[in-house]
Each structure stands twice: as structure tokens, then as C-alpha cells.
Amino acid sequence: MKGKKLALVATIIGSGITLLDGTVVNLALPHIASDFHAGFSSLQWIVDGYALTLAALILIGGSLGDIFGRKKVYLIGLIGFGIVSLACGLSPSKEWLIALRTLQGVFGALLIPGGLAIINTDFPKEERGAAIGLWSAWTASFAAIGPLLGGYLIDVASWRWVFYINVPLIIVCCILTIVDVEEGRDSHKRTVDLPGAVLTALSLAGITYGLIEGPINHWALTSIVPLIAGIIFAGLFLWRESTAKDPMVDLSLFRSRNFSGANLMTFAMYGALGGFIFSLVIYLQTKMGYSSIKAGISLLPVTILMLSLSRRMGALSQKIGPRMFMTVGPLLSAAGMLLLVNYRPGDSYLTVLLPRVILFGAGLVMMVAPLTATVMSSVDDTKSGIASGINNAVSRTAGLVVVALLGLMGKGEVFRFSMLLCAALAASAGIISYLIIQNPKRIPEPAE
């Protein structure tokens, strides 16, 4: 039993590191810009370079674990993530940092799918639910301490420490994984969908490059051609997945109305979330005069709401159906973001920012657990793994694309445009839920 507990700790640390990294890197962006004289597009690439390879490879990362061994692939992801994190902290220029962040995403794609896969391997079915519950709760705690720890390290030391902090955590995680995690892989023979992975990467790279660089070079051919090529590669990817014998994405899952609707919602809502956090933490530090730790703490109410109410919202949605939660939640979040459009220097945190952040967080907590439950319940149990992987990839791609879009109106209008765009996306998620999501049919209880 001790080995199982330590195996669970290993999955919690590994998954938590990726959450911690995403949180604190956003806080560090203004300091990175100051040290490297980096423009807004460079900051976009520091975030999107990581998101690009992560979104493109996360599904194939899960497949590699199934084929070659989940423990082995998890360890490769851990070690690679740790080495590249150290290199990110030592980066001599913004170009090096962008390149290393892109490589970090590759190892993140091996690491992230492994946590739940290892739980499925190491825990019998009757213990799995409790293990996943503990994994979810403790992984979320990393998101809670991220703004505090990251902001403190940036203010008292350097932005480089947001990368260094990964290294000791990964060393502990590697030791626990080697000693306590059992190896597991699929018993039936599978193949790696390399053409699908290449087409995904080319599509996302072309679209991201075009959207980020287009406003800078006034939409010259050097940005329009990659954008168009990315769209063409996306079409080729869909064709490939519809004809492959062992596809990376099982398109038949989208025949389910709830699965399709939930993934459309995921794209809209998680795109809004990624763009909102990215632009707000930069704006707070560059325009509102917040320190890094104060900027991090300002978003802490969202994490507190998620930690304290997610389980209750999941239970309520299971009792009365998810549609209402998935409709009202995004609309509340949209209202919170829309009310920040005219947020200006001199405005009070307590009377202006805090109520809007709470409104945003309340909407988010209403939606997240019901959305996840809807994705997983809309497919057969035998396909739950690939369904979860697709939904994870959709959420990562959404953040990637929306952050790439933020510079369209010019650097001076980034914050205002971000709030309008992200509010519109969140509102569209609520509308999608209302129009598409169906509550499960209840089976009437037999009369006594």
C-alpha cells in the first residue's frame, strides 16, 4: 500500500509541475521583457512556443506511453522537462528562451498524459476513483501556490527562478517513479500515428506564426502564406485521421452530440481563460503598478473558488443535469471579463478588480466539473482515455490560438481587445451549451 501511495505522489508532483510552470511563467513575462528588451510578440512566443508543441504532441505522447511503457515515457518526460527547465533559467536571450520553451512543450507532452495513465495501471478499479479524487485535489493545490511562490521568487530573486524551482521537484518525482511506479502498457498491438502528429504540428505552427507575426509586418506574404498553409494542413490532418487504421484522433467520437458540443465549449472557454490570464497579469504589472506577487495574489480568488466548490458543482450537475451549469457558468465569466474593459490605473482592487475576478471565477467553477463529466460520459468507457486526451488537446490548442490573436489590434489596445475577445468567447460557450448539450435521460425508479 505504501508503494501505491508514493506512486500517487509521483503522479501528483509530475502533473502539478506543469500547472505550476504555466502559472508562474505568465507572471514572469514583464520581467523577461525588461531583461531581454522583448516586444509583445516575443512574449506571445514564450507562451505559445510551449503551448504549440504541447498541443500538437499531447495525444501522441499518451500513445507512446501505451505502446512503449507508461513508466518509461513518464520518466523521459520528467527528465527532459527538468533539464530544459534548467536551461530556460540560464537562457542568454529571448531567442534562446523561445526555442527552449518550445522544446519544454515536447517533454510536457510526454509527461502530462502519464499521470492518470499510471493511476489506471497501478490502482485496481475499486481504488481508482479515490486515487483520482486525491490526484485532482492535490494537483489543483499546485495552481493555488503557483501565484504566491512564483510572485515571491520573481520579486526577491529573479524571473529565472520560476524555471529553477522545477528541478528539485522533478528529482524527487523521478526517484519516486523509479522506485514505486509499476510499468504498464497496452496488451494489444498499436502503432504511432506519426503522419497525424506531423500534420498537427505543421498546422498549429503555421496558424500561430501567421497570427502573431501578421500584425507586426502588416500582413505581408511572410505571415499570410504560413497562415494559409496551416489551414490547409489542418484539412489534411482531418483527412488523415478519417482514413488511418490506428488514428491519433478517433473522429467517430464526434458523432456524439454531447461530445462535440462539450469540445466546442472547451475551445471557446479555455481559449477565453488562456487569453484572460495572459493579458491581465501583464497589464497589472506594466500599467497598474502591481508587483509580481501582488499580481499573482489578485487571481487567487479564482483558485480558492475552484478548490472549495468544484466537487459540489460536479455533484449538483450529476443530480440535475449539466446543461444549466454549462450555460450559466460561461455567461457569468463573460460578464466578469466584459466589466474589466475599462479597468484603468488608479482603480481600486477591492471595489473594481476583486468583484469582477470573483464573478469570473464563479462562472468558471460552475462549468469546469460538469464539462469534464459530460466529455467522459458521452462516450463508451472503453474510449474514455482517448476522449480525455482529445479534450485536453482541444483546451491547449484553444489557449495557443487565442494568445496568438491578442496582438491583432496593436500593442496599445491589447488589454481592452483581450477582454472583449475573451468575453465574447466565454459567452459563445454558454450559447453552445444551451443549443447543443443535452441532459442525460433519467431512468424512472420502479414503483414499490
Q: pLDDT tens digit string along 271-321?
A: 999 899 889 988 999 889 998 888 888 888 888 887 788 778 877 887 888
Find cell 504555466 and name the residue.
Answer: 22
Residue type, 398: A
Res. 248: pLDDT tops 90:
no
Q: Distance between terminal CA atoms of the chain? A: 43
Using CB atoms within 10 Å of the CB of residue 252, give its burial: 0 to 12 exposed, 13 to 18 middle, 19+ buried.
Answer: exposed
Rounded to whole angstroms, the Cα distance separating 176 from 174 reads 6
**Percent of the chain whose pLDDT exceeds 90:** 32
DSSP secondary structure of 84-141: HHHHHHT-SSHHHHHHHHHHHHHHHHHHTTHHHHHHHHHS-HHHHHHHHHHHHHHHHH
Q: In the predicted model, is pLDDT for residue 419 greater than 90?
A: yes
Helix locations, 287-406, DSSP H: 292-298, 300-320, 323-338, 354-377, 384-405
**Would you say 404 and 48 are in contact if contact means Cβ atoms under 8 Å apart?**
yes
Specify whether the CB–CB gap between 212 and 42 falls below 8 A: no
Q: Residue 443 pLDDT > 50, yes or no?
A: no
Kindly tell me if the per-residue pLDDT of 444 is higher than 60: no
Output the pLDDT for position 140: 63
Q: Are 387 and 259 in contact (CB under 8 A)?
A: yes
Could you give the dihedral angle defined by the CA atoms of residues 125, 307, 106 and 174, in that order, rounded to the nearest 10 degrees?
-60
Contacts of 297 (CB under 8 A, 6+ apart): 147, 148, 151
Q: Which helix (H) or strand (E) holds 293?
A: helix 292-298
Cβ(331)–Cβ(427) below 8 Å: yes
Mean pLDDT along residues 383-388: 69
Indicate the length of the chain as a whole number: 448
**Average confidence score pLDDT of the chain:** 84
Name which of 184-188, 217-221, 227-231 the model is least confident about. 184-188
- Greater model confidence, 363 or 68: 363
Integer angstrom CA distances of residue 111 from 139, 162, 351: 14, 19, 41
From residue 289, alpha-carbon distances to 181, 284, 286 in Å are: 46, 6, 6
pLDDT digits (tens, 9 = 90+) for 141-153: 676 677 778 888 8
pLDDT per residue as tens digits for the range 44-83:
889 888 888 888 888 788 777 777 777 888 899 999 999 9
What's the whole-number mean pLDDT along residues 202-224? 83
> Does the structure show a pLDDT above 60 at 445?
no
Q: Summarize pLDDT for 7-35 with one digit per residue, the tens.
A: 888 888 888 888 777 778 888 899 999 99
Res 395: pLDDT: 85
Decide if 86 contacts 164 (C-beta within 8 A). yes
Q: 395 or 117, which is more confident?
A: 395
The alpha carbon dihedral of 237, 241, 244, 247 has a sign of positive
pLDDT of residue 124: 72
| pLDDT recorded at residue 448 | 47
pLDDT of residue 396: 82
Is residue 131 over pLDDT 80? no
Confidence of residue 220 (pLDDT cuts 50, 70, 90): confident
Give the C-alpha separation, 261 to 435, whole Å.
9
The owner of cell 521537484 is 169
Question: CA 381 to CA 125: how far, in whole Å?
Answer: 13
Residue 133 has pLDDT above 80, yes or no: no
- pLDDT per residue as tens digits for the range 152-210: 888 888 999 999 989 999 999 999 888 877 776 655 666 778 888 889 888 888 888 88
Segment 257-282 shows an average pLDDT of 92
* Residue 225 pLDDT grade (very low, low, confident, very high; cuts 50, 70, 90): very high
Which of 77-91, 187-201, 249-263 has the lowest average pLDDT?
187-201
435 sits in which H/E element: helix 414-436
**Cell numbers of 267, please?**
475551445
DSSP state of 249: S
pLDDT digits (tens, 9 = 90+) for 344-356: 998 999 999 999 9
Give the integer Cα–Cα distance in Å for 327 and 437. 9
Cα within 13 Å of Cα(444), Cβ side: 3
